[in-house]
Amino acid sequence: MHTLITYVDINLAVALQVVLLGFIGGILSGFIGSGGAFFMTPGMMNLGVDGVIAVASNITHKFGKAMVGSRKHAAAGNVDKKLAAFMLVTAIGGIQIAVAINSYLFKGGGDSHGPGSSAGANLYISLVFATILSVVAISMLRDVLKSGKGEEDSGPSMKIAEFFSRLNLPPVIHFGVADTKVSLWVLMAGGIATGYLAGTIGVGGFIGVPAMIYVFGVPTAVAAGTELFLALFMGAYGAISYAYHGFVDIRLTMLLYLGSLIGIHLGVYGVKVVNEKYIRAVTSVIILLCVVSRVIAIPAYLRQLGFVSFPAEYDQWFNFGSKFFLFASGIAGALLILTKVISAYRQRRKIHKTLQVSRESDVELAVLKEAV
């Protein structure tokens, strides 16, 4: 297999770009609550990294990051380990399907040399990426617009969870921390879909978290905590599977860490100080721009596979357009978040104020004590 794998040559410029991808991905990840792979995976592909190596290196990066992050969630009581265990068993099946498809397409894609050798896998990853993330981004944007029109924000809809609950397909399992009952069959479907997407495009959280909230009826905080706990094991399994096939580029993983572990702290800080509507609006716009970026790259893959024909030198323009949109969305999103973070940081240092008003039966005395 090693004869087919072409690792990107990492010079200082490429290294800095990967660190920047990690930093922006980390900010978005901390802010949005997903893994940030929707930005980092295509970003690496735009730097010339083969799709499957980008996915493998990112899932490996996610494994270590989830290990650090899930400890914090567990301390806050947001992890339903029983639910995570059930999801994990089924998600492993999904990851296996994804790894098998990616490996097959990688071997059989293009003309088996140069960039075309991975065009099949790249096209497949790009199509799944664009489809799934379009659905997620449009749903989020619709929610934001709905609440902007003054419609009541009543939180996540429980219609789907109630529908499955009414079906009452045995065996039904009770999850104590999440305080919900879910049919094993529904769990299996959700787990396989999560594993498949994590293995294909490295964004399992985008299906896992909504599935837990909307389909299983799990509270949002527990869904996010459980997903991160699940990501730890799924990431480990994905990383081992891809490493076995020789697809993990440890250098990329390490460079991603350099940026992402700083970015994630800033993103999480941003969540504490920015209102939810703003978070959802920024997130959906960033994801949509990422989708556009990936769609722009598709014609080049189609040409490499022989489905369309145009001069090969046009590929660089498609790649440039794709790269431009990706970096524009990521950098703009990260700047918006960072602006809020910095202003909140400065404001927080000034918050030291207690107003003390003393009231006795016949005297009213007001004292203002401020320590700024």
Partner 1 sequence: MALVMISSLYQAGREDLTQELARKTGWPTFSREELLEMAHQEGIRIGRLEMSMIKGTSQSEKLAREKKLYLAFITAELGRRAIDGNLIYSGRAGHLLLPGVHKLRVGLSAPLDIRINRAAKALHMQPDQAESYLAQLDEDIDKWIRQIHHASGQDPTKFDIFINLESMSVKHAADTLYAISQLPEYQESPASRRALEDQYLAAQAELKLITDDRTAGADLRVKADTGYISVTYPPQNEPVSEFIPAVLADLEGCREIHCTMASTNILWVQERFDSKSENFQHILQLAQRWGAAVELMRLVTPEDVPEGSEPLGTEYDFGRRECPLPDTGGVEDDDPLGVIDDGGLSSAIEVLIDQGRCGGGISVCGGYDKILEQVQGDANYALVVVGEMFLSKGKSTRTRRTRELAMNIRDRLKAPVITIDELESKFLFGKRQAINLAGYGLLVVVLYFLVFQNQEQILNFLSGPTHEKVKWLAPLLIFAFVPIVAYLYGTVTGLALKLIDID
Q: Which is nearer to partner 1, 79 or 326 (CB)?
A: 79
Q: Which of 10, 173, 184, 188 binds partner 1 (CB under 8 A)?
A: 10
Q: Which is nearer to partner 1, 76 or 335 (CB)?
A: 76
d(CA 126, CA 120) in angstroms, rounded, equals 10
Radius of gyration of the chain (CA): 23
Name the one range near partner 1 by CB under 8 A: 93-101, 186-194, 279-287, 350-358.
350-358
State the nearest-atom distance from the C-beta of 305 to partner 1, in Å: 24
Hey, is 327 helix, strand or coil?
helix
In the block, which residue shows the tokens 């990066």? 61
Hey, is 356 helix, strand or coil?
strand
Query: ω before 299 within 30° of 0 (cis)?
Result: no
Q: Name the helix (H) or strand (E) containing 357.
A: strand 353-359
State the nearest-atom distance from the C-beta of 225 to partner 1, in Å: 10
Q: Which is nearer to partner 1, 50 or 129 (CB)?
A: 50
Is there binding between residue 366 and partner 1 (CB under 8 A)? yes
Name the one range near partner 1 by CB under 8 A: 194-202, 254-262, 312-320, 329-337.
254-262
Is there binding between residue 1 and partner 1 (CB under 8 A)? yes
Is there binding between residue 338 and partner 1 (CB under 8 A)? no
Helices (H), 274-313: 276-305
Here the tokens at position 237 are 């399994």
Is there binding between residue 355 and partner 1 (CB under 8 A)? yes
Phi, psi of 79 (to 5 degrees): -115, 120
d(CA 128, CA 189) in angstroms, rounded, equals 18
d(CA 144, CA 256) in angstroms, rounded, equals 31
Q: Which of 149, 170, 360, 363 binds partner 1 (CB under 8 A)?
A: 360
Site pattern 61..100 for partner 1 (x: CB under 8 A): x-xxx-xx------xxxx----------------------
Hey, is 358 helix, strand or coil?
strand
d(CA 192, CA 88) in angstroms, rounded, equals 9
Q: Which of 48, 93, 156, 321 binds partner 1 (CB under 8 A)?
A: 156
Q: Which is nearer to partner 1, 1 or 312 (CB)?
A: 1
Beta-bridge mates of residue 181: 174
Cβ–Cβ under 8 Å, residues 46 and 221: no
Name the one range near partner 1 by CB under 8 A: 98-106, 117-125, 263-271, 285-293.
263-271
Among residue numbers 229 through 248, which ones bind partner 1 (CB under 8 A)? 236, 239-241, 243-244, 246-248
State the nearest-atom distance from the C-beta of 289 to partner 1, in Å: 27
Q: Which is nearer to partner 1, 176 or 306 (CB)?
A: 176
Q: Which is nearer to partner 1, 246 or 306 (CB)?
A: 246
Beta strands (DSSP E) in the chain are: 172-175, 180-183, 353-359, 364-370
Q: Name the helix (H) or strand (E) containing 108.
A: helix 81-108
Beta-bridge mates of residue 105: none
Among residue numbers 165 through 224, which ones bind partner 1 (CB under 8 A)? 179, 213, 217-221
Q: Which is nearer to partner 1, 45 or 268 (CB)?
A: 268
Is there binding between residue 150 and partner 1 (CB under 8 A)? no
State the nearest-atom distance from the C-beta of 215 to partner 1, in Å: 13
Interacting residues of 311 by C-beta distance below 8 A, sequence separation 6+: none
Q: Which is nearer to partner 1, 309 or 358 (CB)?
A: 358
In the block, which residue shows the tokens 């022989």? 306
